[in-house]
Structure 1
Amino acid sequence: MQKILIVGGGFMGSAIAKYLMQYNVSVFLYEPNADRVQQLKEQSELRNVIFIQRLTKIEGLTYVIEAIIENLQAKQNLFEQLDLVFAEDVMFCTNTSSYLVSDVAEKMVHKERLIGTHFFSPANITPLVEVVPSPFTSKEKAQAVMQFLQSIKKKPVLLKREIKGFVANRLQSALAREAMSLLEKGIVTAEELDFIAKMSLGVRLADTGPLEQRDINGLDTHFAIVNYVYPTLENSTKPLSIHHEKISAKEFGMKSNHGFYDWSSIDKQQYLAQKEKTLIDIIKLIK
């Protein structure tokens, strides 16, 4: 039985733990916040997780999956500590969604054993995992990670090299930037924009990727379109004013009850549960 330690019991860490519990895996979870640990222990899907209070050697451990806050210094400090605690044959995985894996590994001695495993939210449902090696990562270890993820029915893709934001978040960031730009320009409301995205791109992307769709439509047709449209697309290299304004007003979205939408009267738990159900149905159809 594989033994895996997850560091961080937040939204992502707990979701990864829930997913692993479906397979023949012994899951250890390190979460320093006692209140959070108590909340996790009350969840039936995590009843067999072994919670630990300090980072110490675990006999037979094969992987450590880091799922702490998206802060580069915090990740660097953590892996520096993990590198000292765990034997060299234990593979380290960072769930960073944006940082270069080589930057995360900066303070490590054994940089060859760190690789990016970018699970997608919700990690217990979404199939894809972006596997991102750094220039230091051992090819053998990268292949072992791929094989492990395939064994637990994930759909991993091994990137040829590291790049900031990897692939999916680069695509998502480009789309979000253009969406905010259109909203900022007063072209549509947030509700209208999301409706357009879901009823056109959304339903199509569930079955047909963007490059596949270009082939279907014709690259010559697409060339004519983008030759006309590209010059007008948002190309700012910094967050847009509308984004800055939301942050300054502490409108962070669902977590603060206000963002592009008003979430104050929404039953968030029920809302997210319905979203997960819909996502599961879509994944079943794709498969």
Structure 2
Amino acid sequence: MSGTLPLVFSVTSGKGGVGKTNISVNLACALTSMGKKVVLLDADLGLANVDVILGLTPQYNLFHLFHEGASLDKILMETPYGFRILPAASGVSEMVSLSTGQKLELLEAMDVLEDDIDYLIVDTGAGINDNVLYFNIAAQDRLLVLTPEPTSLTDAYALIKVLKIHHGVERFRVLINMVRDEKAAKEVYLKLSNACDHFLSGVSLDLVGFVPMDKTVRQAVIGQRPFVATTPGAPASLAVRQAAERINKWKAPHNVDGNIKFFWKKLLFQERSVA
């Protein structure tokens, strides 16, 4: 994919505690092992923890971009697993809601990456606050992570509803995490799909896969390492690799849908060239 537009997808959720960041980290690891160049952006700007899950201590983060003029190259951090992260700050109230100027500043800064990566994974916060909605709109694809818990299902629907009604987003990918088996995962997916069919006309949901309950996941989190690296043969690791293989077949869109996107300059250029 090098030399073309990178594929940007968010990993998002309606509620916290569904394992969204852990999925983001392990997908980054799995895609990297497939020979892809990956950057993981920690877009949970006020409660960042991608670096914690990886056991890393970044010297710089996105706070330094917005408030101290640091370059993206200075903030980008290599991980032991071959992908890079763009860490955010934790417990910094100024990062909870970005201004319009800061959003554009981030988009401009990202330009240095567009010819150097295959995937930009955007790990959003949970819920429907301004930052979560913004990063989901700015991504080309959205991977919605949920669990079998009723509250997770309800909140996932709420996020879809807001993005559809207020921002015109209609396509979502779905991954069911911490589920008993495939049958249970499909039941959760059908519940969400049926709710969208009944109340949100035009929404498209694509089941990317499921990650089963697996004790190795908790062990890896405690050890601050990706489980696909520590226990590659475990059920959760195999499931994430399978999801990564499906993601690797996604195609970057060749048009602008009206919302500002990451690497929007190249998108606009491509659209004008086609026109």
TM-score range, shorter chain: 0.3 to 0.5
Q: When the two structures are superposed, what TM-score results if normalisation uses the length of structure 2? A: 0.37
- Larger C-alpha radius of gyration, 1 or 2? 1
Which fold has the larger relative contact order, with Cα–Cα distance below 8 Å and residues 6 or more apart in sequence?
2
